[in-house]
Structure 1
């Protein structure tokens, strides 16, 4: 199958300025021509309606990336089994996507663009359908999790431990999507804050954010014994890419979660690396996990923990995680792992590159949402 990336990129430039109109047209057409798919979407679409179009277009625009994209599509397909996505749904999405772009290109859309996008979309669909079918042989679409503990660490942050009903295979550093009983069909992504355990339990660090449906339900309205649904593990944030004996971890807020999981994993390694972990918070009261981190430090022996506080007038010095890295004169001479808000990750990565850290040595992860073919 010939995929013309040049035509795809050129045609996208025609509609990118009116992406919101394309989104509205896409959903209108999808739900009118294929009403059976409406049940896969949450009742309220206003908050996340653009996520599907963004995911569809970005995946197609990234097709030249080859094998890494195929791995990502496989993870995406396994994750989308939880929505009830079936092979026949893929042509509907592709048809409506192309129709929406064509209708909003102000007459500049060419038949060749239709062919280029549909060829690309057919490839994406084939990879995802095959991955989903292979996954269905040995894994459920989602896991039923029982909340075994719920601990408020600050006014807005809870540490929640969940026990899946079946073995949940994952790697340290990955994340899962969660759905609560309060918000059916609405999924949110949270990093798993532990390495795999014999008891199969998963730990999540959740901050209640203003307007956050799932985060507020998890932090404010969840208690032991409650049930949550857990999507398949996703993400490639792992120690597999580390090639150096000294690691630097930079966390912002609850971005600590996957880095804590990586510390746990490394503690069991015969050749455990030395780790400098910098945890940045705005106020010292938000240093919610120090007790567990001290326990990890006692187990790891080659772990150093430095807390950084950025917005508290009485605290001196006032530092972000990367400020503290420079203040303590730690030389990032190996692999560096960064996790936090998108803004924190972008700022920290730019600072690291300016320090001379090679780009391939910086491994980053946002502690927020991940793209999805079905809005979550």
Structure 2
């Protein structure tokens, strides 16, 4: 259905083709999952509006404008009608038309409101590129205008080597006076964007940044002590949060667990140990899962269970999805309420961002 949709969209409205990446596989998957999420939320108007508004704001970076929405709606209904077959009826067509027009209106209004507050994208120059070993590079960029974000948020980035292919990375620093952001990027096997950033990017190159997203910030932690879990380059947003905590004079204790497969891959451990020497409230522990060494052995969730208890803590996690998922289950079994466990969406952020009700409602209802 999605293949057919994009085929007729580009045939009837060829002017929109340049808004999309050359490789459409990921885009088709996102369209289908976006539709499924709208269907999932159809009986929850508040969260449905939140989701559509998030989509509308995010689509600004693609160059989407109000005039594009009728064309998309026309082709979407045509694709649905073709693949619904005998199940398609005038009543169903009317329902889908109303649903699409409502979603499109919310997206358009959200984009218009967002345009009054900030640009759709920021041009950013690469001003630092430092290899850190094991396919990781530390890349520092300077946006062409102030880039407001909270430590712990993530950023979408487009590179000149893969136009219209946006990937998400978390700044590894709290906001700086010089407006620079540092990203820790690992070259993923088959990852054309990450590999280009690690192996080909150089000082002077220009990338584009989308607006910051995510709610994993220190403000979410209220007054509790923190337990932080970081795997691989997932240390970046945790490091930014701790840097922000040090700057603002945190009055809580923080336990940080850093994990990797081998000791050589314990990325950023030395930096965090140096921070712990300066900050009495920070305790740092490391674990490896695939090497016998002096110290802690095992996966991060396994090591996490050895310490604690964590039931009175607020938790921040970032790293490989499997690790984060297992650590979340471990913390819940240890007594932490799910509302006090924070991590970024584990897949495409705009399609998977939690749309939970207000925090006080979360505290009273188990998830």
Question: In structure 1, what is the equivalent of residue 2 of structure 2?
Answer: 23
Q: Relative to 1, partners in 2 of residues 1:95 and 1:126: Cα closer, same or farther, differing over 3 Å?
A: same
Confirm or deny that 1:217 pairs with 2:196.
Answer: yes
1:209-259 deviations in Å (ceiling 9; x for gaps): 011011000001112221111111112222232234211111221111111
Q: Is the 8 Å Cα contact of residues 209 and 216 (structure 1) preserved in structure 2?
A: yes
TM-score (norm 2): 0.88
Question: In structure 1, what is the equivalent of residue 216 of structure 2?
Answer: 237
More displaced 10-residue stretch of structure 1: 181-190 or 44-53: 44-53
- SS of equivalent residue, structure 2 residue 248: coil
Q: Within 5 A, what are the aligned runs for 1:50-129? A: 50-67=29-46, 70-129=49-108
Unaligned runs of 5+ in 2: 353-367
Question: In structure 2, what is the equivalent of residue 12 of structure 1?
Answer: none
Question: In structure 1, what is the equivalent of residue 172 of structure 2?
Answer: 193
- SS of equivalent residue, structure 1 residue 38: helix
Shift of 1:145: 0.7
Shift of 1:299: 4.6
Question: In structure 1, what is the equivalent of residue 182 of structure 2?
Answer: 203
Shift of 1:368: 5.5
Picking from 268, 276, 284, the partner of 2:263 is 284
Picking from 308, 325, 341, the partner of 2:287 is 308
Shift of 1:200: 0.7
Shift of 1:298: 4.1
Whole-angstrom CA distance in 1 between matches of 2:130 and 2:236: 15
More displaced 10-residue stretch of structure 1: 198-207 or 129-138: 129-138
Whole-angstrom CA distance in 2 between matches of 1:60 and 1:90: 19
1:147-184 deviations in Å (ceiling 9; x for gaps): 11111112211111111010001111111111111111
Question: In structure 2, what is the equivalent of residue 3 of structure 1?
Answer: none
More displaced 10-residue stretch of structure 1: 169-178 or 350-359: 350-359
Q: Is the 8 Å Cα contact of residues 246 and 334 (structure 1) preserved in structure 2?
A: yes
Confirm or deny that 1:341 pairs with 2:320.
Answer: yes
Whole-angstrom CA distance in 2 between matches of 1:264 and 1:132: 32
Q: Relative to 1, partners in 2 of residues 1:300 and 1:59: Cα closer, same or farther, differing over 3 Å?
A: farther
1:22-69 deviations in Å (ceiling 9; x for gaps): 211221122122221111011222354312232243145324445455
Whole-angstrom CA distance in 2 between matches of 1:300 and 1:59: 46
Shift of 1:271: 4.5
Picking from 294, 312, 315, the partner of 2:273 is 294
Q: Relative to 1, partners in 2 of residues 1:310 and 1:335: Cα closer, same or farther, differing over 3 Å?
A: same
Confirm or deny that 1:361 pairs with 2:361.
Answer: no
Q: Relative to 1, partners in 2 of residues 1:107 and 1:367: Cα closer, same or farther, differing over 3 Å?
A: closer
Question: In structure 1, what is the equivalent of residue 244 of structure 2?
Answer: 265
Question: In structure 1, what is the equivalent of residue 305 of structure 2?
Answer: 326
Q: Is the 8 Å Cα contact of residues 159 and 193 (structure 2) preserved in structure 1?
A: yes
- SS of equivalent residue, structure 1 residue 104: helix
Q: Is the 8 Å Cα contact of residues 224 and 312 (structure 2) preserved in structure 1?
A: no
Whole-angstrom CA distance in 1 between matches of 2:49 and 2:299: 36
Shift of 1:70: 4.0
> Aligned-pair RMSD on alpha carbons?
2.3
Q: Is the 8 Å Cα contact of residues 309 and 334 (structure 2) preserved in structure 1?
A: no
Confirm or deny that 1:142 pairs with 2:121.
Answer: yes
Q: Is the 8 Å Cα contact of residues 194 and 261 (structure 1) preserved in structure 2?
A: yes
- SS of equivalent residue, structure 1 residue 363: strand
Picking from 134, 146, 170, the partner of 1:155 is 134
